[in-house]
Amino acid sequence: MKGDHFLVAFVFLALAASFAFASDPSPLQDFCVAINDTKDGVFVNGKICKDPKLATAKDFFLSGLDIARNTSNPLGSVVTAANVDQIPGLNTLGISLARVDFAPYGGLNPPHTHPRATEILTVLEGTLYVGFVTSNPDNRLITKVLNPGDVFVFPVGLVHFQFNVGKTKAVAIAALSSQNPGVITIANAVFGSTPPIRSDVLAKAFQVDKNIVDHLQKQFWYDNN
């Protein structure tokens, strides 16, 4: 009887551990090059896999991250992604990159989250004021001014931003712990959704006059990604 109790406890702990450490499954093959054609493919982790025998160097390659982007837009920033959509060979490998260009003083990568990835940012040029906000109930703002060579981490799912406080352009490279980290820009999601969120809902949530919400929902919410 005592042995049965031990067995039940062991099984319970094993199940609990499996939930506690649940994450994207590790690949069971060398790679899974993503393709859009379902013919002769296998669906794995959001993409169709190419036959490994047909993979080439092109599937694992991307050029152009050295090229400065045009930041003449309302936010003064441009994000150039290098994820599974640009590098099919990243599928199931759990990593991606992005280059972020900022206009001189005022270039902003606005408050946003990556629902599936932690981000680690390295500044190559310029000076950035960066930060993230912890979850409820503290909502604590953690910030730092970064210079070339500095590195900062934004934990998975937390709202974060980067702002150019220098007089010259700024450039940063971000690495993310997902081949498809996703991005939710807060202002765009809240005030620019399709269809719009009811203005009385937002007025109560932000504790402002409904006319303010109506005004914000009429704006064009630029996406720098």
Q: Report the binding-site residues for oxalate.
A: 109, 114, 119
Binding residues: 109, 112, 114, 119, 160
Q: What angle do CA 144, 107, 192 make, to 5 degrees?
A: 105
Q: Count CB-CB contacts under 10 A for residue 187.
A: 14
Residue 40, class by beta-carbon neighbours within 10 Å (0-12 exposed, 13-18 middle, 19+ buried)?
Answer: exposed
Q: How far apart are CA 223 and CA 185, in angstroms?
A: 8
Q: How far apart are CA 171 and CA 148, in angstroms?
A: 9
Q: Is the dihedral of CA 181, 19, 139, 194 positive or negative?
A: positive
Residue 160, class by beta-carbon neighbours within 10 Å (0-12 exposed, 13-18 middle, 19+ buried)?
Answer: buried
Binding residues for Mn(2+): 112, 114, 119, 160
Q: Is the dihedral of CA 185, 188, 194, 198 positive or negative?
A: positive
Q: How would DSSP label each residue in 29-82?
A: SS---EES--TT-EEETTEEEPPGGG--GGGG----TTSPP---STTSEEEEEE
Answer whether 41's CB lies under 8 Å from 50's CB: yes
Q: Which amino acid is at 153?
A: V
- Per-residue tokens: 223: 């996406």
